[in-house]
Amino acid sequence: MTAIDLGRPVQGDVVELILEDHRRFEDLMRTMRDATADRDAARRAFSELHVAHALAEEELVYPKLRRKRAIGEHEEEHGHEEHAEGNEALLALLELSGTDTQAYDDALEKLAELINHHLTEEELTILNPAREEVGDQVRAELGAAFAERRNELLDQGCGSEAQVRKIVEEARGEGLLDDED
Ligand SMILES: [Fe+2]
Ligand SMILES: [Fe+2]
């Protein structure tokens, strides 16, 4: 079993670092669809990256963009909800024992639908304001902080099935999974 390299960038424009991860999500989803690939390794790598990336965004990126008035409460809250929905669909995929079943294909399709939606919406409504309303210096500082937190979470191992289940339960407790918004 070979671990998939998720990269450990240490600096860069936060917008570019986030986009690099979004491309990794897309590549990993493509691998998860490939019947000849190690789909289980891709599924586990996706889980680690999704948890680390989303938490680093929630802890550092969204709050900073709000303080800079690039995004509002609605964008931040909606981002949290979509991360929670992604984690819920991810958990359903992680809970399946096999990767060569109809249940796996269905769970992956659901996950891909939510993730593709979130990546699109985040790039349109959060990264565009960051590009247009936040200066290079702040984007670089935020990039370094985002990368450090993301890498720390990856190095800890943050995306096991049990950890994702706990995150989903917490999100449900916070009402993030209550309604369609
Ligand atoms: Fe993102
Ligand atoms: Fe996100």
Ligand 2 center–CA 2 separation, angstroms: 27
Contact criterion met (CB below 8 Å) for 159 and 28: no
Ligand 1 center–CA 161 separation, angstroms: 21
Residue 115: predicted pLDDT = 98
CA distance linking residue 13 with residue 102, whole number of Å: 40
Ligand 2 ion: residues within 5 Å (CB): 57, 122
Ligand 2 center–CA 119 separation, angstroms: 7
Mean pLDDT of 136-164: 98
Q: List the domain boundaries for the chain.
A: 14-173
Split at pLDDT 50, 70, 90, the class of 39 is very high
Split at pLDDT 50, 70, 90, the class of 3 is confident
Residue 70: predicted pLDDT = 96
Ligand 1 center–CA 125 separation, angstroms: 11
Ligand 2 center–CA 24 separation, angstroms: 13
> What is the SS3 string spanning 63-84?
HHHHHCCCCCHHHHHHHHHHHH
Residue the block writes with tokens 């985002």: 146
Ligand 2 center–CA 58 separation, angstroms: 8
CA distance linking residue 27 with residue 59, whole number of Å: 25
Split at pLDDT 50, 70, 90, the class of 2 is low
